[in-house]
Structure 1
Amino acid sequence: MVLPSLATVADLAATLGRTFTTEQELQAQALLDQASSIVRAYVRLDITRATTTDTFTMRWSTRQHLGAPFDSHRHGQVTLPQRPVEEVTAVKVNGTATHDWWLEQNELYLRTVPWLGPPGAHQAPQVEVTYTHGWDPVPGDIRAIVLQAANRVIVNPSGIRSETVGGISTTYLIPAAGEYLGVLLSRTEQKVLDRYRRTASTVRLRSI
């Protein structure tokens, strides 16, 4: 699935206070696509609102949920990797639809778990979940970082860190101390994105 850029060419033109030619618009879109991909890779999230069907390997949980219509026996759990979770529309366990579940943030809990018969009797149940996730609109700080990352390449395409002209020294904001690699994130931008970053691992088999 091709994900949209987290900021638009019109946003970038407004930031720069200029009008792009057709060729410049193509370059700007390419830079925004790169910056969006880098931000998504850093936070490990799609960010934009979408509906996804994923299959997960269930794990056991003894998490108690006060007020939920479930007994206190051990129940199944899967972690939905994309955040924030807006809605879960369908859940299947080993191919059988179930409504015997509840959601806490991005954790899905199941009570009735049909185990596979032989020869797969000892395999953990597979849980297929269709859910809507992400932000609409994209959070302003994320959009701003994408615009900043793309803008740095436009205003400093050669990646110069500093230069001295007529006795005046100018230092450019290049994210990394090493070689210039195009669109990158600064340490400050990474710190801003850290509050969105997904750190927990999830067993996911496939996306439909």
Structure 2
Amino acid sequence: MVLPALATVADLATILGRTFTPQQEAQAQALLDQASSIVRAYMRLDITRATTTDTFTMRAPGRQHLGTPFGCGQVTLPQRPVVDVFAVKVDGTATQDWWLEQDQLYLRSAPWLGPPGAHQAPQVEVTYTHGWDPVPGDIAAIVMQAANRVLVNPSGIRSETVGGISTTYLVPATGENLAVLLSRTEMKVLDRYRRTAGSVRLRSV
């Protein structure tokens, strides 16, 4: 599935206060697509609102749910925020015997506890809606910043003059070649959204 850019060419033109030529629009779109892919890879999230069907391997719940019924199972939905869960199947059989806590889906019975599945964790298919609509403003801003760095300075050149001597660098003094990449400051902003742990996801349909 091809995901849309997290900011539009029109957004970028408005922020910059300029009008793009058709050639510049095409370049801006390509850079926004690249920046969006980099942000998604760093955050480990699709970010934009979508509905997907994924299959996960059920596991036993963590310590915080020791009070749940014996045999309860758990899966972590990897895409956040979870907006709604439409359908759940355990080993191909639909069930309503579940509840959701943020991105954690709990099932009140786990068929691996009895034969013939005693030693094989069940597979849980979940259809759910996730992501933001609209995209949070700080995420969109970072995507535009990353794209604009290449628009205004495609070679990544930085010059400085000290004592009458001019020096040109291909990368900033920090050693970061930003280009369509993320700065340390931008990463810190994205960290509040970033997914740091995931589930075992078998497939998407």
With structure 1 as the length reference, what TM-score do the two structures score? 0.87
Matched residues in 2 for 1:175 and 1:42: separation? 23
Matched residues in 1 for 2:171 and 2:185: separation? 11
Match of 1:83 in 2: 80
Counterparts of 1:65-104 in structure 2, within 5 Å, are 72-104=69-101
The equivalent position to 1:152 in structure 2, one of 149, 152, 157, is 149
**What amino acid does structure 1 have at the position aligned with 2:198?**
S
Q: Secondary structure in 2 aligned to 1:149? A: helix
Matched residues in 1 for 2:38 and 2:7: separation? 13
C-alpha deviations, 1:91-118, integer Å up to 9, x for none?
Answer: 0000000000000000000012334854
With structure 2 as the length reference, what TM-score do the two structures score? 0.89
CA contact (8 A) 1:84 1:133 kept: yes
Matched residues in 2 for 1:76 and 1:100: separation? 11
The equivalent position to 1:114 in structure 2, one of 103, 111, 116, is 111
Matched residues in 2 for 1:125 and 1:144: separation? 42
Matched residues in 1 for 2:109 and 2:71: separation? 10
Report whether the alignment pairs 1:192 with 2:189. yes
Matched residues in 1 for 2:173 and 2:179: separation? 10
Q: Unmatched 5+ residue regions in structure 2?
A: none
Q: Are the structure 2 counterparts of residues 132 and 4 from structure 1 closer, same or farther at C-alpha, using a change threshold of 3 Å?
A: same
Match of 2:123 in 1: 126
Give the aligned CA root-mean-square deviation in angstroms. 2.6
Report the alpha carbon displacement of residue 123 of structure 1 after superposing the two structures with TM: 1.2
- State how many pairs are aligned: 201
Matched residues in 2 for 1:174 and 1:137: separation? 33
Report the alpha carbon displacement of residue 121 of structure 1 after superposing the two structures with TM: 4.8
Match of 1:177 in 2: 175
**What amino acid does structure 2 have at the position aligned with 1:11?**
D
Q: Are the structure 2 counterparts of residues 175 and 53 from structure 1 closer, same or farther at C-alpha, using a change threshold of 3 Å?
A: farther
Q: Unmatched 5+ residue regions in structure 1?
A: none
**What amino acid does structure 2 have at the position aligned with 1:20?**
F
Counterparts of 1:19-98 in structure 2, within 5 Å, are 19-61=19-61, 63-64=64-65, 72-98=69-95
Report the alpha carbon displacement of residue 177 of structure 1 after superposing the two structures with TM: 1.1
Matched residues in 2 for 1:8 and 1:193: separation? 19
Report whether the alignment pairs 1:140 with 2:143. no
Taking only the aligned residue pairs, the percentage that are identical comes to 77
Match of 1:162 in 2: 159
Report whether the alignment pairs 1:204 with 2:201. yes
Matched residues in 2 for 1:168 and 1:3: separation? 47
Match of 2:12 in 1: 12
Report the alpha carbon displacement of residue 122 of structure 1 after superposing the two structures with TM: 1.9
Q: Are the structure 2 counterparts of residues 21 and 186 from structure 1 closer, same or farther at C-alpha, using a change threshold of 3 Å?
A: same
**What amino acid does structure 1 have at the position aligned with 2:76?**
T
**What amino acid does structure 2 have at the position aligned with 1:13?**
A
C-alpha deviations, 1:37-72, integer Å up to 9, x for none?
Answer: 000000100000000100000001264498xxxx63
Matched residues in 2 for 1:168 and 1:17: separation? 34
